[in-house]
Structure 1
Amino acid sequence: MRKTKTISCLIIIMAAIVAGSGCLTATDGYSGQKAEPVFSGQVIDADEAKSFSINATIMEIHAVASPPNIMVAERIIVIDPHKYENKIITPRLVDRDGRLIGIQDFKKGDRVVVRGLELEDETIFAESIVVQPKE
């Protein structure tokens, strides 16, 4: 009976040592490297996209839509992170004073310069949107 308790204690101690040493962490196979997080947004193929740029007025703002977007010159501009050429691109939104802002800070009638990617189906993903100074 005493030997059984001693063996049980040794098994518990060994399990704690193995768990604490990091031997049980997730890896990406046999390389020993930790796996990268999976990107769940839109992945854009370079062969299916072209550069897009426009200087126009905001007609509509859909901040709570999925994905969030604005309408500029009757074109829907998606404001959502996307992956292009193995880089995750988070749209950069900037006010007329050069400060970073959120989509909720845009106002209908603001003149903006939009740069991004246009897909073959005419979907536009913003890379940057800059509010222009009032004239």
Structure 2
Amino acid sequence: MDCYRLLPLAEEYEIKPLLKSCETSLTESFANMRKGRRAGSVATDVTMQHLSCADKYNFSDLQEMCMEELVANDNPFSGKIVADSQELSEHVKRQVLERKLDRVNMVLARERRINTERDQSRDTKGGKIWRK
């Protein structure tokens, strides 16, 4: 994408309209990749490329979309990829990993609640509770 080549020049020469144009283009491009697909389905390497660019140039909308995508990604190595990235700031790494942890905790809490409700419904339908 040409934006990746133009951004360093736009930053060096402080061409704000070009920076804004690149931000809009990258954000729309990433949004189109996500459009009509379930969250987390964009390839991790593509998401990381966009996230590192968003982090470097402070593109908040793109950064938010990329973080949402990484959090929803089922790739078991996506957290390690984020943590090992040399291109992301520590702040962004921490945000992504904390959100991933929150998501895991929500899934575990839901599973516990479902299991508890299932166990309680068995007990109230005449099931016996065996105790030592």
Larger radius of gyration: 1
Could you say which structure has the higher strand fraction? 1
Could you say which structure has the higher helix fraction? 2
Bigger relative contact order, structure 1 or 2, given CA contacts below 8 A and separation 6+?
1
